[in-house]
Structure 1
């Protein structure tokens, strides 16, 4: 009998993130799935984000009592029940009605943080009130800085724990497979229009009776009547600011009293700069392979960044995490936490809140199993002794360089 993944509609029967991905592909129209799935240009960065995990092997220990295990971590002085969180994913309302609420509620129930996308279709105040838990807010540094200041004020009033400023999208990447779904900007071609009609479950969930989802946190930035997912794209594109610099991070740091996390860094020198400007954390990221094609992955640079700034701010990363073993590898290399994006978004597309719950459950169970098989009882015991990776052997950390950077930052 030939092997095959589960092909039904019940996310509770999925055994892996890949099975949830398949369910999402069947449930939502192609243009929605492709928005989540695709990367930029030849998608070499997208592939690199996954390929890097295959280069890293485990070195387990045996005869260790692992009957009691704890996969929780301490992040910004508070316990998180797993070493990962849900990262910001835009347009979640296109996958399931009030998708942002489903993601945030599932994260709260699991005891992990949730980062609300700047391009969410539910207002941040509603997400915080209805979902509870630890809600962080993603922000882009738009040309209209007054809007950014007002969004930060809203977040403060709503008791949002952290702002996560995304820095790698001052210029849009070219996501060709996404573009091919449209006859002209944001007008589906005939093939994709017919494909929408072939997904009645999605239409009943997302389009009826609510209509096309609308951006709930961008109203002050958009022209009147242009807050729909379809109508806002051109206005948002004009708001992207190629002049974005570290001065803008300094401005936001002075403005925002809560935790400030800089997302989109991929170079150790930038990590050190974030320390000097008072950031509380960084997210190493190449935007899920959706921006610069041919980039290194966050995992590639993680060891260097750990050498540079470990202990001076929280080191987080995203990009290609599909298994609990991927998350454990990052933690063993010195990460403080991992962000997952597509994994939980596929869960959302597969079955709404139930699909997100299942995605989180799968990852938590896998992390627990992996650390037990490695011979450790908690995430805090992990380090590079449990990892075999040629890059580690070839790396020669420069203590002299690190010392010079520390002097420069004083």
Structure 2
């Protein structure tokens, strides 16, 4: 991939869409029904403005943070996403290698097209590498109505399979036909069981929480964090954008009631991540200012893979890291901890409109 050609994630997405072909590009880029939530996830960031600060010493900005007990270069990582091999033969191995070299976190999907062992081996050169957390998707008691998948169908090309999924006969499938979902799963039965079967050395994060009341429910269990996510707009269309749901969820995690529940467990507050709509380093800044501790994206590494394999993923990471660092410097923040809502204004009455401080 030409570094002179791709300067933004949008550039990479456009190149990837051309290379992926109709079926796979629509599977990756689209979502449920009319794509209202897919589009809103990105557009919501435009409602916020970052207020610059001047004449501050920003010569040594520190973009790093800690997630899953490990220091990362900046508060961004890859969320679990299926079928990386449809974008490039290296699949999740290429993604893992790029993530480890960049010093960021990566989530691995149950529906990965490379084995868990091979994926983690690709990241072995990273300090503190290994599987540190269990990210459990909780927003899919049923699959959303995804029109592109209904029209095109979706599965793996011949020769690919899901090596981490084993059928009753010992085979590994190459489609989702035998997937079983339990729509009766509830907090009161699922969370105690999940905690009981998870090694104590692994953190548990619930991915797909969207309502403040669910944040409070999650706070009463010995888990480490939540990820505010609408499954990339692939589940319930017209659900609020990620950035519209984040402030209330972040406030709930920091509320006196939630902190009391956590103190009874001998734990600090729930960490709050988001997954969805991130396309610029400034988006990461805005999410942190609105209460997120960490940002994730699932489509970006697949776009990078499609364009240039592992090198394409590395380029995507570096674009976001550079944009995030520049944003921090121009906003006068020298560490991630200094990013607060004081750096933001919100546009009221449309874009452009009246700017109000938060």
TM-score (norm 1): 0.77
Report the structure number with the largest CA radius of gyration: 1
Checking the alignment, whether the CA contact within 8 Å between 1:107 and 1:133 is kept in structure 2 is no
Specify the alignment match of 1:74 in structure 2.
66
Q: How many residues align?
A: 336
Specify the alignment match of 1:254 in structure 2.
196
What per-residue deviation string (whole Å, max 9, x for no partner) do you get for residues 310-341 of structure 1? Answer: 36011000111100010000011121100011
Q: Unaligned 5+ residue runs, structure 2?
A: 255-267, 349-354
Checking the alignment, whether the CA contact within 8 Å between 1:12 and 1:354 is kept in structure 2 is no
Specify the alignment match of 1:227 in structure 2.
173
Give the distance between the partners of 2:52 and 2:357, measured in 1 at CA: 21
> What is the Cα deviation at residue 159 of structure 1?
5.1
Give the distance between the partners of 1:15 and 1:384, measured in 2 at CA: 28
After TM superposition, list the pairs within 5 Å mapping 1:5-404 onto structure 2: 9-10=1-2, 13-132=5-124, 160-182=131-153, 211-219=158-166, 221=167, 225=171, 227-228=173-174, 232-236=175-179, 239-246=180-187, 247-256=189-198, 257=200, 258-310=202-254, 312-389=269-346
> What is the Cα deviation at residue 75 of structure 1?
2.1
**Alignment CA distance shift 1:354-1:244 (3 Å):** same
Checking the alignment, whether the CA contact within 8 Å between 2:251 and 2:291 is kept in structure 1 is no
Checking the alignment, whether the CA contact within 8 Å between 1:104 and 1:135 is kept in structure 2 is no
Give the distance between the partners of 2:221 and 2:300, measured in 1 at CA: 32
Equivalent position SS for 1:315: strand
Checking the alignment, whether the CA contact within 8 Å between 1:58 and 1:386 is kept in structure 2 is yes
Specify the alignment match of 1:191 in structure 2.
none
Checking the alignment, whether the CA contact within 8 Å between 2:26 and 2:148 is kept in structure 1 is yes
Q: Unaligned 5+ residue runs, structure 1?
A: 1-8, 137-157, 187-205, 396-410
**Alignment CA distance shift 1:99-1:61 (3 Å):** same
More helix by share: 1
**Alignment CA distance shift 1:378-1:226 (3 Å):** closer
Give the distance between the partners of 2:271 and 2:219, measured in 1 at CA: 10
**Alignment CA distance shift 1:235-1:276 (3 Å):** same
TM-score (norm 2): 0.88
> What is the Cα deviation at residue 255 of structure 1?
1.2
Moved more, 306-315 or 42-51: 306-315
**Alignment CA distance shift 1:109-1:300 (3 Å):** same
Checking the alignment, whether the CA contact within 8 Å between 2:165 and 2:172 is kept in structure 1 is no
Equivalent position SS for 2:272: strand
The two structures, once aligned, show a CA RMSD in angstroms of: 2.4
Moved more, 343-352 or 385-394: 385-394
Checking the alignment, whether the CA contact within 8 Å between 2:205 and 2:224 is kept in structure 1 is yes
> What is the Cα deviation at residue 179 of structure 1?
2.5
